[in-house]
Structure 1
Amino acid sequence: MASSKSKFKSEEPARNWSELPSDLTINILQRLGVVDRLENAQKVCTAWRKICKDPAMWRVVYMEACLEDPVGRARRAAYKEMCKQAVDRSQGQLLDLTVCYGDYELLLYIADRSSKLRRLELVKFRHIFNEKWGEAFKKLPLLEELGFIETEVWEHNIEDAARHCPLLKTLKLNQTPVLLSYGSDDDIDYILSMRDDNALAVGRHLPELTHLELIGNSMTDHGLQFILARCCHLESLGLRRCRSIWGLRGDLGKQCSQQIKNVKFPWHDLKGHPYARDVLYDPEYDSDYVPWSEYDPYDHLYDDDYTANNNDNFDDLDAVEP
């Protein structure tokens, strides 16, 4: 019986992957990452190479970032080059792009060749404070979703996107939470003075947003109140790891839940967000370490700083009423 099974197995014909129906091959190759397509799949055979050159294969491009820091110059350069190849192969048909380790030059390269882009997510980008970023957004008028992941964002970046991308409905500003227990007093004062800046920019320039995600944002109750007052069309709001908002277990939290259909609070898990960090402080160096599972907005670790900062006159919030 065993010999019969062995004989049956030996008689199975070898599979020729190049003879698969083209639609099935396309389906398989579309599941591969950009690196695998460019470095491996297109080298298998002539048929696969032809498919990998089809612009339809590059309408959606997802380039996964390395979770380990720092990333060397050589790897950054390689990622940039592969992104450019993917953009070129799309021949203007690119609709959805997640790209990492870029800068203004790469964003402009993408924008010049991807006027149909609907979704753009920038992961670990550099030099975003460059005021020329608005030139790139001018060339993306159909953009509906924009994400800055582990990328420092300034008010003028939000304003530029709002001005040049009128269809924008989804914005993600996902950062690692700032650890205020480290650094000089001047550094901490500077951070405290600007921690509502992004929230105010969103409220001023993007009132039509329907989805807003702010992982690790340093905004306070004032910033959140401003968003709630100005962005009246929000259907989802992500506040994971936004630990400077005190009122979420009180009236402010109730307002969020009543006004917005889907709310994620600071203590909710980070499932589906591979670049977000899940600790308040490093337990190895900070005796006040608190895991997020035990997080309580009222148990502020630096409430003296918070109180001093929020005694200021918030002129920007004089129109909190919608």
Structure 2
Amino acid sequence: MSTGTAEQESCDWTQLPADVTSTILSKIGAIDVLTSAQRVCSSWLRICHDPVMWRNIDMHNLGDLWDMDHDLEKMCRHAVDRSNGQLLSINIEYFGTDELLQYIANRSRNLRNLRLVSCYNISDQGFCEAIKGFPLLEELELSYCSLSQEALEAVGSLCPLLRSFKLNNRGHRCPKIECDDDAKAIAENMHGLRHLQLFGNELTNVGLQAILDGCPHLESLDLRQCFNVNLVGKLGKICAERIRDLRHPNDSTHDYEFGADFQDFCWSSVEDYPSGISDIELVSDEDDYYEFSDYDFGYDFDYDYLFND
């Protein structure tokens, strides 16, 4: 016996309670909200103008910026404006600039979580200036960015509440390049860290020891693809005893968010060509990302309409 008609059993998404709708929309990412979701109906549009909707702004994308019809920087500025000073967390991938980061800093003094991925257009100077606007920052990720030791020192001195830091790059074994600049900056300026991820970093055992000495509250430490680190003997024992969640240089990358491929180019002499590529591993969650390119609206995209408040 049927318990109801098909019409009764179907769900009218536009009639859901506002708080439920807001929770759902917050999961799909800022780009989809601005380009699609807010245009479904007037009730969704009202919800999408609520500052609460924009406490967490996720601008993740696949990096195919040349195939996109949207000005992501303009969209991000608009999303920040909608937060009305309530922004707590923001994720920017590929399109970040000095100007955009400063725009966020000027309007988001309560920011707790900042995530920058492959933002090569953010300079040391621009970053150091903008980071002054995030005194309450607790979590920071700088993955595949081109920032120097100076930027890390600024974070440590200007963000005293920082508890989680991710500094990720692509690892390689050969040629062997050792550099403890990042480790030194972290050890000397980020004493309150609880969680640290240094995927693909060039630090050595010397740099690791400095971090252990300078960051006594560390609970988790990710050293995957940090191939200059050798966790044996006394140093390995200290790490095992002090760090509750420790990831070793050669541990699996199956749960790593980005592509974990690395290429080793080795020369036996200056005349030799690279002898080949070894130990290539590729793990990527890009298939789980939303597709933001190649939108077909059936008309020329009108930003004035999109951002009309």
TM range (shorter): 0.7 to 0.9
CA contact (8 A) 1:235 1:261 kept: yes
1:289 matched to 2:282? The reply is no
1:136 and 2:130 correspond: yes
Contact kept in structure 2, 1:175 and 1:215, CA below 8 Å: yes
3-state DSSP class of the match of 1:35?
Answer: helix
Alignment identity in percent?
A: 38
In structure 2, relative to structure 1, the CA distance for the partners of 1:76 and 1:175 (3 Å cut) is farther
1:241 pairs with 2:225: yes
Deviates more, 1:12-21 or 1:34-43: 12-21
Q: What amino acid sits opposite 2:221 in the alignment?
A: L
Partner in structure 2 of residue 311 of structure 1 = none
Q: Are the structure 2 counterparts of residues 212 and 23 from structure 1 closer, same or farther at C-alpha, using a change threshold of 3 Å? A: same
CA distance in 1, matches of 2:252, 2:259: 10
How far 1:108 moved relative to its partner?
Answer: 0.6
The match for 2:87 is 94
CA drift at 1:107: 0.8
Q: Once the two structures are superposed, what CA deviation does each residue of 1:241-270 show, in whole Å capped at 9, x if it has no partner?
A: 11111x214332221111211111112223
Distance in 2 between the 1:277 and 1:199 partners?
21
Unmatched segments (≥5 aa) in structure 1? 182-187, 294-322
State the SS of the aligned residue for 2:44: helix
Q: What does 1:1-322 align with in structure 2 at a 5 Å threshold?
A: 12=8, 15-66=11-62, 71-72=64-65, 75=68, 78-101=71-94, 102-178=96-172, 180-181=174-175, 192=178, 195-245=179-229, 247-281=230-264, 287=276, 289-290=278-279
CA distance in 2, matches of 1:59, 1:270: 31
Cα distance change on mapping 1:233 and 1:12 into 2, 3 Å: closer
Cα deviation, 1:22-68, whole Å, max 9, x if unaligned, reads 222122212211111111110000000000110000111122231x6
Deviation at 1:157, TM superposition (A): 0.5
In the superposition, relative to structure 1, how do residues 138 and 125 fare at CA in structure 2: closer, same or farther (>3 Å)? same
CA deviation after TM superposition for structure 1 residue 224, in Å:
0.7
The superposition leaves residues 57-92 of structure 1 with CA deviations (integer Å, 9 ceiling, x where unpaired) of 0111122231x6xx4457597222222121111111
Secondary structure in structure 2 of the residue aligned to 1:120? strand
The alignment's C-alpha RMSD in Å is 2.7
More helix by share: 1
Distance 1:128-1:179 versus aligned 2 partners, 3 A rule: farther
Larger Rg over CA atoms? 1
Q: Give distance in 1, aligned partners of 2:102 and 2:152.
A: 17
Q: 2:303 corresponds to which residue?
A: none
Q: Structure 1's 19 and 76: CA in aligned 2 closer, same or farther, altered over 3 A? A: closer
Distance apart, 1:12 and its partner CA: 4.5
Residue 20 (structure 1) shift: 1.7
CA contact (8 A) 1:63 1:100 kept: yes
Change (3 A) 1:40 1:265: same
Does 1 or 2 have the higher relative contact order (CA < 8 Å, sep 6+)? 2
TM-score of the pair, normalised by structure 1:
0.76
Give the secondary structure class of the aligned counterpart of 2:85: coil
Structure 2 counterpart of 1:312 = none
Structure 2, unpaired ranges of 5+: 266-273, 283-309
Letter in 2 for 1:61: I
C-alpha contact (below 8 Å) 2:124/2:147 kept by paired residues: no
